[in-house]
Amino acid sequence: MRTPVQLLRIALPLVATALSCSDITNLEQKDPSQILSKDVYVPEQAALLVNGAVGDFECAFFRYVTAAGLLGDELVNVIANTANYNYDRRTNPLTGSYAGGCNTIQQPGVYTSLSVARASADTVLARLEGWTDAQMPAGVSRTQLIGKAAAYAGYSLVLLGEGFCTAAINVGPELTPTQVFTEAEGRFDQAITAAGAAGDTTTLNLARVGRARTLLNLAFAATPTDSTDPDPALLAAAAAAAALVPAGFVVTAVASATGTTRQQNVVFAHTGVGIGTANYSSVDASFDSVKFAGVLDPRVRVINTGQVGANGVPIRQQTKYANLGAAAPIARTAEAQLIVAEAAILTGDRGTAVNIINALHAAAGIPAYDSTGQTNAQVLTQVRDERKVELFLESHRLGDTRRLSRDLVPPIGTPFPGGGTYGDQRCFPLPAVERNNNPNIPDV
Amino acid sequence: MTGPRPGLLAPCCLLAIALLVGPPDVRAQNAPAAGTVVGRVTDARTARGLVAATIAVEGSPLGATTDNDGRYRIANVSAGDHVIRARRLGYTAAAQSVSVAAGQEVTADFALQFAAVPLDAIVVTGTPGGEQWRAIGNAISTIDASEALQRSAAPNLATLLEGRAAGVIVTPGTGRVGAGPTIQIRGRSSLSLSNEPLLYVDGVRVNDAVNTGPPGSNAPGGLSLGSQNSQVASRLNDIDPDDIDRIEVIKGPAAATIYGTEAARGVIQVITKRGAAGRTQWTAKVQEGAQWFGNPDGRIPLNYARDTATGQPVAWHPLQQEEARGTPIFHTGRTQSYNLGVSGGRDALTYYVAGTFTDDDGIEPNNYGRAFSGHANLDIAPSDKLRLSVSSHYVRDAAHLGADGGLSPLLNMSVGHILRFPRTRGFVFTPPEVPEQLYDNVQDINRYTAGVTVQHRPLRWFAHRLVVGVDFTSEDSRSLERYAPPDLRPYLAQFGSSVADGRIGQKLRNDTYFTGDYSGTATVQLTPTLSSASSVGGQFTRKEFKNSFLAGNVFPAPGVETVSGATVTGAPSESLLVNTTIGVYAQQRFGWNDRLFVTGAVRVDNNSAFGDNFDLVTYPKVSATWVPSEEPFWSGVSHVVNTLKLRSAFGQSGEQPNIGSALRTVVNAPRANGTPGVTTGNYGNPDLKPERGSELEVGFEAGLFDRLALDFTYFTKRTKDAILSRDLPPSGGFSGTQYVNIGETSNHGVELQARLQALVRENFSWEISGSVSTNTDGIEDLGGATLSGTTVKNVQGYPINGLWTKRIASADRDATTNAITNILCVAGPGGGAPVPCSQALAVFIGTSTPKVIGSVANTLTLGRRVTLYGLVDFKRGHKILNANDANRCAFGVCEAQFFPEKYSTAYLAAIQPSSISAGVLEPFIQDASFVKLREVSLTYNLPERWLGRAGVSGASVTLAGRNLVTWSPYNGIDPEVQYQGTTPQDQALTPALTQFVATLNLRF
């Protein structure tokens, strides 16, 4: 029998050998609770990645609708909180909460959430272009996924272009809205090509609406006034793309009342939870009791709750989104038709414009618009009023205000409930987190 | 990840192969018979037995520790001539030769002399058997825990360290029972990683987490109210001070090189008690005491409101109000502790077994703790060449951590007033019974630590050692807000309709540390004057952290207090983090005449938290010591400077990145309709490497006039590749931050430790000891990054964790009404013309890390039986945000708003509404310097004649007080507190409690 000393004589050098001979250069990190990017960015997970990009956009979209509603004139702040004031007061500092991401509700983060959504879609788009059809799992069309990823990348870019004074892509230089819209146009073109090839009509029409919206912005980009002479070629191209969208088309951002923060309808979270002092936002008075020809317009039905928020502002509750799980339209036929109508009246085609207005009125159950005796300019105003009402809290109002250089309401310098005065922002500035950490953009 | 590097592996393998084939025939070294060495170790001047002296048989792993009477016994010593060496902290080592005969007992008694510099003490350094003090080129603080504990009645490891080791900053976060402090050695050097030192117990790396505890519920329904500042517990509290023999503090990169890639922040080595061969010895300790909020009336400022009838300011006395009502807010807590130990052994086996039960009550009914710990050490020496040491420790602790910082009685009274909030008896949100009855922040701990150390000396010139160990902690932390009874429900309605129905957040955590450590040393006398010690070793450390979190809101009825009983559940989470470090080192030391030593070492590490593009890190070290007092030329001054050791060391060590911070991940993010999806997670940095600390220290240790010991060190440290959490540009597609190695910090300072035997007479002795150390830290480079932060910020060119706020530049004051107008602030750090405060930038106000710390202790021994002891410690040069006062003024109840004539113009300007909304906090960032009478004790050793009949061989009674008096310019309650364990902010935090305990120690 071996003695303990003999055993140790054997054991100790063995342990020493094991310790000293192990390959100490090859220690792999183990974190089973996390999913490594390299394990997911593979062809087998292409559909998962595209769905993730869509989810990222939906999260960003709800935050954009809310934040843009506050910066524009659809919503007003009703909570006593300085960070919230900045949205509605149009005084967002470069370090403001608007720079945040998808983990936000009370102060909706739009720049990071939109940037992440854009990058998620662009990243998987690039991967899909590098992969082959043969690498795709059974039943998964690479072409269809390319179309979907490109379309959602385009929508993130459109919102960055409409809502931000400048933006950046892939840690690149500071881009003007025109440059951002041009990027968006490229994505929509790619989406239209791919979706057409794949026979994916939903994505095809989503991209058509997106392309029309982008071109409408570009048409006015060179003449940023409420003018009647936008770039005619771009305007025509916008109308042409929109005209292809069939009736009854809609793609929504889905939400969940029981899901995570990123899955909630933030518009409802702001305006419909805890009516009273717990509200964050209320509908602006200009949308209260909107009537056409004496008839209340159901498209902007607002409940005057009789209560006031923490800052004393009356609570007007929107009814478009009834709960935290209410879906919101990203693109639909009405938007496409209004682009057609705006292009038509700008080129003197009253008939098309009025027909579209009246089709929308008929759908809403309100009296028809009679253009008799109206000038083309008055019809144009009506088209834009239709956009305000029809597309209420669907992400368009801020972009229109900026595209058409509308006067800000309330005017600059008006005292703000809660302190300070209304500022002059028509768009969110490129935030400090981008400026200070992007080597291609000077720090602030 | 790259493949193996043959060039590196080859020497390691060769060494191991050499070990495998090289050891001589051990059987041939064994003597066929053995004897026993016994003896007693005494103080040469007083002839008293010295407890805890270490006796070693040179050239073998055999040894023993003396009992309370100074006796020892070493069995199984091979027959023949041996040198027996006795060492004890604070005494000169002594050696004598003995001739051991088979089956016989030989006596070796030692009378040790006071030693100002313990040149021959053995220090745990990472090499087998440790190293002699004289050869160590860096500063090390050693604390005799047995002695310190008897004098101080320190309740935990951190309080044993407090004031006893130069350069060690112990900062209690809150005085609540169960809370633990943060510890920094030589200040902060890391901007984003932990600054807590590593902790080893008997050579085994153990969990040293601080700021642990229950998080609040995340279930829908609003923020958790009772869990604010609930994460205050420390794993250091799991170590029973009664089990500690001594503590060694290794202070920085210069010393910690061979501890590798996590050791830049220093290392604390805890060496536990071991048994001594000889008769079985029982010890028992009974400790009873009380603790309370010292002088609350004098420390909590009064609040004011104006009587609407008279128009006069009225002061509010919440403590007196509640006392008169029969519901005092704070009470005196009882503290008790019972310890029973047995040690002894014979021949080749010695043991130490002890258990302690503690029962502590805080000053509020929801703050108390019960703990049991058991410790068993076993030493087996089957031959004089082999020693097997087993250490095991178990602790079970249920800490009810109470609540402060957030919704607590202190917060409610700090901004309240009876005229303002009559519905809640003046307390701003709720009266005290709400948090005290409803909020229970609990941490249940089951922890087991075990280690086995095998020391083997197959040859006289070669010894090696293997340590394997595991430290497992199971934690169940719960933040409970109970279902409120009808009388308390109205107070909670303001927070939401369901808040009164209660909520719970529960964190379940299993942390495991594995240690494997092999090292071998070959010691060769190259020439009669030149010696060599060559060491090589390898360490393996693996840490596993398993976390689960569950939460629920809305209990259906009173008495339901579990997550599964809640109506609305929160999002659960689970994580498993694994981190592995493998390192090897080689060290070469040359000694000349046993008084000049030069040591060089290099350590190579890999850590699984390094980025994929970074493989190995190498840390060098070089040190030198010289003991000129042993040179022949020193004889002329040796009566003045008895001992002098000069030392210098340069070394590097590192700090690993946070686990997972190099990984690029995605996270599960299904769409709202349930379609699976992922989104970007952590944007890990594949180039991430450890922070690298480089430190140079020079110093000396001197003994003067046979009574004064001085230990002086100057250190300067640079931490390069400092890891910063840098914001990512969102356009890259990732939100949040990324860790990058772009920073650089610096620290420098001096440390002086002194011990003076002021008087030594037969029946009276007076010893004075103390230390003072300085630390100046700075941020040298941030690599162009701008780090986020509001009041506490890291800015290039300024100290780490600086306190920043807007500063009042000027204001006009009406001489009659004291009305303040025309307030302007300093424009910013760059100066410039004053601007309205809303446009101003924050400027640097001060550092949160003390620039100077120190202590002075006096020990008076009267006769043979009475010892009087007192310790005063101090910190200065740092600031803290007095959020209590800031909140008080923001709520309109502070004294300055009613008696402005007592305050400066700048103070009054800062408390105007426009200044408060602009974020001006300057008057509230206050000097946190203090001097505290930390410990006072009186010990009486009972006469033996009283004890004999009861079979007791020794007994003492100690009456000890703690946290007795504070002198400080700070206006708040206690300058030592920290919010949430790390933030230099005093907001409704319980101060360190005043404590008195009586301890009866018995030996049988």
The 3-class secondary structure across B752-807, one letter per residue, is EEEEEEEEECCCEEEEEEEEEEECEEEEEECCCCCCCCCCEECCCCCCCCEEEECC
Chain A residues in contact with B466 by the CB 8 A cut-off are 12, 15-16
B198 touches B506 (CB < 8 A): no
Contact B13 A48 (CB under 8 A): no
> Are the Cβ atoms of A27 and B607 closer than 8 angstroms?
yes
Residue B837's SS3 state is helix
Least confident of A129-143, A344-358, B207-221, B285-299: B207-221
B666, A26: Cβ pair inside 8 Å? Answer: no
- pLDDT at site A30: 60
Residue A375: CB atoms within 10 A of its CB come to 10
A332 with A293: CB under 8 angstroms?
A: no
Q: What's the confidence (pLDDT) of residue A12?
A: 53
Give pLDDT, residue B8: 37
**Which pLDDT score, from 0 to 100, does residue B851 have?**
97
Give residue A13's pLDDT: 55
Mutate which: B21, B385, B542, B671, vs A, most A CBs within 10 A: B671
Residue whose entry in the numeric block shows the structure tokens 């992007």 = A438
> What phi and psi values does residue A354 have, to the nearest 5 degrees?
-65, -40
**Any CB–CB contact under 8 A between A105 and chain B?**
no
Phi-psi region of B789 (alpha: psi -120 to 50; beta: other; left: phi over 0): left
B778 lies within 8 A of chain A by CB? no
What's the rounded Cα separation, in Å, for the pair A186 and B461? 77
Does A240 touch chain B if contact means CB atoms closer than 8 Å? no
Segment A260-266 mean pLDDT:
92
Q: Can you tell me the distance from the alpha carbon of B926 to that of B845, in angstroms, rounded to the nearest whole number?
A: 9
Q: Do B13 and A123 touch (CB under 8 A)?
A: no
The answer for B 120-159 residues in CB contact with A (under 8 A) is: none
Q: Assign residue A352 a region: left if phi > 0, alpha if psi is -120 to 50, beta otherwise?
A: alpha
Which residue type does A302 have?
Answer: V
Residues of chain B with C-beta less than 8 angstroms from the C-beta of A27: 1, 580, 582, 606-608, 610
- % of chain B at pLDDT higher than 70: 96
* Angle between helix A201-221 and A232-243 (nearest 10): 160
Q: Give B146-168 pLDDT, tens digit per residue.
A: 888 888 888 888 889 988 999 99
Neighbours of B891 (CB within 10 A): 18
Neighbours of B21 (CB within 10 A): 8
A to B CB pairs, distance under 8 Å: 254
* CA–CA separation, A154 and A318 (whole Å): 28
CB contact under 8 A, B385 and A5: yes
Query: Taking 90 as the threshold, does the pLDDT of residue B390 lie above it?
Result: yes
DSSP, residue by residue, A2-15? --HHHHHHHHHHHH
- B16 has pLDDT over 50: no
Separation between Cα atoms, residue B695 and residue B898, nearest integer Å: 53
Which residues does B739 contact at the CB level (< 8 Å), separation at least 6? B192, B657, B658, B661, B662, B684, B685, B688, B723, B724, B725, B726
Burial bucket for residue A227 (CB in 10 Å: 0-12, 13-18, 19+): exposed
Check residue A242 and give its pLDDT: 98
Residues 780..809 of B with a Cβ closer than 8 Å to A: which? 785-786
Is the N-terminal amide bond of B181 cis, ω within 30° of 0?
A: no
Q: Which residues of B touch A14 (CB under 8 A)?
A: 20
User: What per-residue confidence (pLDDT) applies to B73?
Assistant: 83
Q: What is the pLDDT of residue A401?
A: 94
Stretch B258-278: mean pLDDT, rounded? 87
Give the closest-approach CA distance of B686 to chain A in angstroms. Answer: 11
Tens digit of each residue's pLDDT (9 = 90 or more) over B319-333: 999 999 999 999 999
Taking an 8 Å cut-off on Cβ atoms, the answer to whether A21 and B520 are in contact is no
Task: State the Cα–Cα distance between residues A284 and A314, nearest whole angstrom.
Answer: 9
pLDDT of residue B23: 37
> Is beta strand A75-77 parallel, antiparallel or unpaired with respect to B708-727?
unpaired
A window 213-232, beta carbon within 8 A of B = none
Mean pLDDT of A233-251: 97
The vertex-B182 CA angle with B181 and B187, nearest 5°, equals 140
Q: Does A437 touch chain B (CB under 8 A)?
A: yes
pLDDT tops 70 at residue A247: yes
The predicted structure's pLDDT at residue A16: 53
pLDDT band of residue A14 (cuts 50, 70, 90) is: low
A33 near B CB under 8 A: yes
Q: Which phi and psi (to 5°) does residue B145 adopt? A: -70, -35
Residues in Cβ contact with B48 at an 8 Å cutoff, skipping those fewer than 6 apart: B42, B70, B864
Tell me if residue A271 falls in helix, strand or coil. helix
B606/A24 touch (CB, cutoff 8 Å), yes or no = yes
Query: How far is the CA of B651 from the CAs of B599, B690, B694, in angstroms?
Result: 11, 15, 6
Name the closest residue on chain B to residue A102, using Cα atoms: B735
CB < 8 Å to A110, chain B: none
B607 near A CB under 8 A: yes
Q: With an 8 Å Cβ cutoff, is B622 touching chain A?
A: no
- pLDDT for residue B365 is more than 50: yes
Instruction: Tell me what the mean pLDDT of segment B874-888 comes to.
Output: 95
Partner-chain contact A21 B679, CB within 8 Å: no
pLDDT over 60 (residue B89): yes
Q: Which DSSP string corresponds to A162-177? A: HHBSSB-STT---B-H
Of A4, A51, A120, the CB nearest to B733: A120
In Å, how far is B528's CA from the nearest CA of chain A?
A: 31
Distance, CA of B453 to CA of A12 (rounded, Å): 11
Residues 6+ apart with CB under 8 A from B101: B35, B79
How far, in Å, CA of A129 to CA of A329, rounded? Answer: 29
| Summary mean pLDDT of chain A | 91
Q: What is the pLDDT of residues B493-548, one digit of tens each?
A: 888 778 899 999 999 999 999 999 999 999 999 999 999 999 999 999 999 999 99
pLDDT, tens digit (0-9, with 9 covering 90-100), for B572-611? 888 888 899 999 999 999 999 999 999 999 999 999 888 8
Could you tell me if B137 and B715 are in contact, meaning their C-beta atoms sit under 8 angstroms apart?
no
Average per-residue pLDDT for chain B: 90
Q: Which of B16, B578, B732 sits opposite A30 (nearest CB)?
A: B578
pTM of the model as a whole: 0.85
Task: Please work out, in degrees rounded to the nearest 5, the angle formed at the alpha carbon of residue B776 by the alpha carbons of B772 and B779.
Answer: 160
Q: Which of A306, A341, A146, A151 is nearest to A235 (CA)?
A: A341
Length of chain A: 444
Does the beta carbon of B15 lie under 8 angstroms from any beta carbon of chain A? Answer: yes
In degrees, rounded to 5, the angle at the alpha carbon of residue B153 between the alpha carbons of residues B151 and B158 is: 105
- Minimum mean pLDDT range among B2-6, B442-446, B761-765, B989-993: B2-6
Mutate to test the interface with A, among B606, B731, B737 (most CBs of A within 10 A): B731
Tens of pLDDT, residue by residue over A388-410, are: 999 999 999 999 999 998 999 99
Residues A242 and A234 sit within 8 Å (Cβ to Cβ):
no
Q: At B133, is the pLDDT very low, low, confident or very high (cuts 50, 70, 90)? A: confident
Q: pLDDT band at residue B1, thresholds of 50, 70 and 90?
A: very low
Task: Spell out which residues of chain A touch residue B464, defining contact as CB-CB under 8 Å.
Answer: 12, 16
Range name among A34-43, B38-47, B538-547, B551-560 with the lowest pLDDT average: B38-47
Most confident of B4-8, B36-40, B784-788: B36-40
Task: Kindly tell me if the per-residue pLDDT of B22 is higher than 70.
Answer: no
Cβ distance B2 to A25 less than 8 Å, yes or no, reads yes
B157 vs B39: CA distance, rounded Å: 32
- Read off the tokens for B987: 């907001």
Q: What is the pLDDT of residue B252?
A: 82
Dihedral of the alpha carbons of B619, B622, B623, B624, in degrees to the nearest 10: 170
DSSP states of B135-152: G--S-EEEEEHHHHHHHH
3 state SS for B67-78: CCCCEEEEEEEE
Most confident region among A313-317, A377-381, B131-135, B346-350 by mean pLDDT: A377-381
The span from the CA of A195 to the CA of A207, in Å, is 9
**Buried b / exposed e along B905-940 (16+ C-beta atoms within 10 A):** bbbbbbbbeebeebebbbbbbbbbbbbbbbbbbbbe
For residue B917, what are the CA distances in angstroms to A24, A182, A317?
A: 55, 43, 30
Q: Do B466 and A325 touch (CB under 8 A)?
A: no
Three-state secondary structure string covering B896-946: HHCCHHHCCHHHHHHCCHHHHHHCCCHHHEEECCEEEEEEEEEEEECCHHH
Residue A330 to chain B, least CA–CA distance (Å): 15
Beta carbons of A31 and B574 less than 8 Å apart: no
Q: Residue B774 pLDDT > 50, yes or no? A: yes
User: Which residue among B20, B580, B584 places its CB closest to the CB of A17?
Assistant: B20
Cβ of A160: how many Cβ atoms within 10 Å? 30
**Residue type at A102 in one-letter notation:** C
Q: How many CA atoms lie within 13 A of A14 on its CB side?
A: 6
B909, B916 in Cβ contact below 8 A? no
Residues of B in contact with A4 (CB under 8 A): 382, 386
Closest residue on chain A to B838 (Cα): A420
The whole-number average pLDDT for the span A315-331 is 95
The count of other CB atoms within 10 Å of the CB of residue B567 is 15
pLDDT in tens, A142-178: 999 999 999 999 999 999 999 999 999 999 999 999 9
* Residue contact A13–B669, C-beta within 8 A: no
Q: How far apart are CA A138 and CA A128, in angstroms?
A: 15
Residue B153 in contact with residue B937, Cβ under 8 Å?
yes
Rounded distance, CA A86 to CA A70, Å?
9
Question: Cβ contacts (< 8 Å) between B673 and chain A: which residues?
Answer: 254, 256
What are the tokens at B517? 């450590």
- pLDDT confidence bin for A225, thresholds 50/70/90: low
- Return residues 276-305 of B near A (CB < 8 Å): none
Nearest to A169 among B9, B466, B731 (CB): B731
Calculate how close chain A gets to B14, using CA atoms only, in Å: 9
Find out whether B979 and B791 touch, Cβ atoms under 8 Å. Answer: no
Which range, B167-176, B475-484, B489-498, has the best average confidence (pLDDT)? Answer: B475-484
Q: Which B residues 718-737 touch A at CB under 8 Å?
A: 726-736
Helix (H) or strand (E) run with residue A433 in it: helix A432-435
Nearest chain A residue to B495, by CA:
A278
Contact A352, A200 (CB under 8 A): no
Residues 181-220 of A with CB under 8 A from B: none
